[in-house]
Amino acid sequence: MTMLPFWQTKSLEQMSDSEWESVCDGCGQCCLNKLQDADTDEIYFTNVACNLLNIKTCQCRHYDNRFAYEPDCIKLTRDNLPTFSWLPRTCSYRLLAEGHDLPAWHPLKVGSARAMHAQRISVRHIAVRESEVRNWEDHIIPNPE
C-alpha cells in the first residue's frame, strides 16, 4: 500500500502548522518588494529584495522574528491566502488552493531547493539588495502571473 504525501490527502486548512510551513517552496518571490499606485491601487512588482532575504539561499535571515525587523512583512495564512491574488502561478500555496499538485521541482518532492533554483523559480537570479537601490521605479519587473 502506497502512502500519499500529506499535501495530496489534506486541504491547506487541514494541515498542521509544520506541514503548512513546509509547503512553501522557498522561492523568495513573496520577499520581493512591491509598489502600489496611490491613485489606482495597482501593484507593481520589483526585483528589490527585503532587507532580511538572503539572496543566495532565498531564505529569511530572521524568519521567526521577521515582524520585529520588518513590521510591513506580510504573513500568508490559511485565512488570508485568497486575498493575495498577486502570488505567482508557481506559488505552492496557490497551486494547492487551486486543486493542483506541487510541481516536480518542489523541495518536498526532491529533497532540496536545488531543482527549484535550477528551474529559475527562485529570485536568486534577479533579486537586488534594497540598500543598492536608488530609484525603485527602475526595478519594476513584469507581473509573475
Q: Tens-digit pLDDT profile for the chain (145 aa)?
A: 679 999 999 999 999 999 999 999 999 999 999 999 999 988 899 999 999 999 999 999 999 999 999 999 989 999 999 998 889 899 999 999 999 999 999 999 999 999 999 999 999 999 999 999 999 999 999 876 5
Please give the torsion angle defined by the CA atoms of residues 67, 70, 73 and 75, in that order, rounded to the nearest 10 degrees.
Answer: -10
Torsions phi, psi for 57 (to 5 deg): -95, -15
Say what the pLDDT of residue 143 is. Answer: 75
What would the grid cell of residue 42 be? 495597482
